[in-house]
Amino acid sequence: MCVVGDDAQSIYSFRGANIDNILNFTRTYKGARLFKLEQNYRSTQTIVNAANSLIAKNRDQIQKEVFSEKDKGEPIGVFAAYSDVEEGEIVTNKIAQLHAKSGYAYHDFAILYRTNAQSRIFEEALRKRSIPYRIYGGLSFYQRKEVKDVVAYFRIGKEGKHQLIEAVKGKHGADFVPKKEIYRGRKIEIYPLSSTKYLSVYTTDGLVVVSYQKKLIEQVIDAVKDNSSLREDSVFISIHHPQPASFITIYGRTPSVPFLGKESCHSWSEYDIHLNSEVFYLSGQMKEEQADCLDRMLQAVNTVPVVSEKDSLLVVSGHERVDSCISKVIASPSHTLFDECVSNLSRDASYIMVTDMEKVAASPEQFVSYLPPFLIRHADLFRSFILSIQFTEVNNRLSHIFVFTYKE
């Protein structure tokens, strides 16, 4: 029997992998012979030396002298970033610079990251500079049956209304004709999902409004008719900008999470919806109308009590406490998927929350203080995910990210 492994690589600990299986193999199985494969055929000696210098700091390891017979290669550049957002900007700026000045094509570049969830910052930065990209690896998020409904609910583009209705029909097994109602001269289409549940849809130029409550649709029409529509709101206009076709943006009035309080600010929240092979996430910023709004939001964020229930709910507020918490999780010798979601969050955040949506679906009343009402009401739809939330102060704005990680 032959067993192959590398004690310098352990990336599946959250699935139960244990590096001790390799380190203790010869002690567990007496008489086993150890063969070291020390020549690297892929990298330059400069890269091998850099890797060796880091691996040398591992407390437990099988000593090796890894080498390469390739050329020395170019020096490695190291850039220190204050936050993950700045990191994304540094990388994309470098790509744009080399493309413009040195003649490199965009397909000459590759960005490597440790987990799929980390792609979100790079995607945002690349899109802002209109740099084309492609994500490789894993099953396409769109193809997973469990999330097709979730994606369709958010796909509000030229075909958004049609896609939404078709997704709802498929989900509920209904082939229905909408009932049409007129409110203040505007048409509302009401689709019966069951004997007690209805989906209301209002469509106007460039805007599709969907809700299970017709009353909320009527409130949107009121805003339009009374000349206080979204497109005429000064704060909304300040954050509305054209996005590529595959880049979906939604906007919500009032704070995103309950602990901010109804009285904290009257503001718009912007959510850009991104998807890749293992996660989908909403990211954006809160835009405040009052000058002291950010201070009040940060005060609310920083005073949330810490909650820690293993693999169920983690709530940490305050930059120093967040930094300490994430550092401890990263340093832990073994990780669950829940821990992996925690470690992917930014240490610069002012607030983080991670929860298993299956637990939310089972006991929603325990989570009403932390999650937006929409997620509480539709927790069953998201039970296949772990939800991670972070709030970070960036350029005098409160940046927020909601990440849904699929549980395999």
Report pLDDT for 258.
Answer: 62
Report pLDDT for 126.
Answer: 85
Q: Is the pLDDT of residue 289 over 70?
A: no
Q: Is the pLDDT of residue 394 over 90?
A: no
Report pLDDT for 236.
Answer: 44
Q: What is the pLDDT of residues 34-45, one digit of tens each?
A: 999 999 999 999
CB 241 within 8 A of CB 285: no
In the chain, pLDDT over 70 holds for what percent of residues?
65
Q: Is the pLDDT of residue 65 over 60?
A: yes
Q: Is the pLDDT of residue 52 over 80?
A: yes
| Lowest mean pLDDT, pick from 45-54, 167-176, 337-346, 358-367 | 167-176
In the chain, pLDDT over 90 holds for what percent of residues?
15
Instruction: Please give the span between the terminal C-alpha atoms of the chain, in angstroms, as a whole number.
Output: 30
Report pLDDT for 288.
Answer: 56
Report pLDDT for 165.
Answer: 62
pLDDT band at residue 141, thresholds of 50, 70 and 90?
Answer: very low
Task: Using the CB atoms, write b or e for 230-258: b if 16+ within 10 Å.
Answer: beebebbeebeeeeeeeebbebbeebbbe
Tell me the residue type at 29: Y
Higher pLDDT, 139 or 136: 136
Residue 248 has φ and ψ, to the nearest 5°, of -100, 135
CB 248 within 8 A of CB 235: no
- CA dist 17 and 11 (Å) reads 8
pLDDT band at residue 239, thresholds of 50, 70 and 90?
Answer: very low
pLDDT band at residue 202, thresholds of 50, 70 and 90?
Answer: confident
Task: Using the CB atoms, write b or e for 156-171: b if 16+ within 10 Å.
Answer: beeebbebbbebbeee
Q: What is the pLDDT of residues 89-117, one digit of tens each?
A: 899 999 999 999 999 999 999 999 877 66
Higher pLDDT, 226 or 42: 42
Report pLDDT for 168.
Answer: 58
Report pLDDT for 276.
Answer: 52
Report pLDDT for 262.
Answer: 52
- CA dist 276 and 262 (Å) reads 33
- CA dist 321 and 273 (Å) reads 28
Q: Is the pLDDT of residue 119 over 60?
A: yes
Higher pLDDT, 254 or 27: 27
Report pLDDT for 69.
Answer: 92
- CA dist 198 and 113 (Å) reads 43
| Lowest mean pLDDT, pick from 50-59, 123-132, 240-249, 334-343 | 240-249
**Strand pairing report for 198-204 and 267-275:** unpaired
Q: Which two tokens stand for residue 87?
A: 């990191």
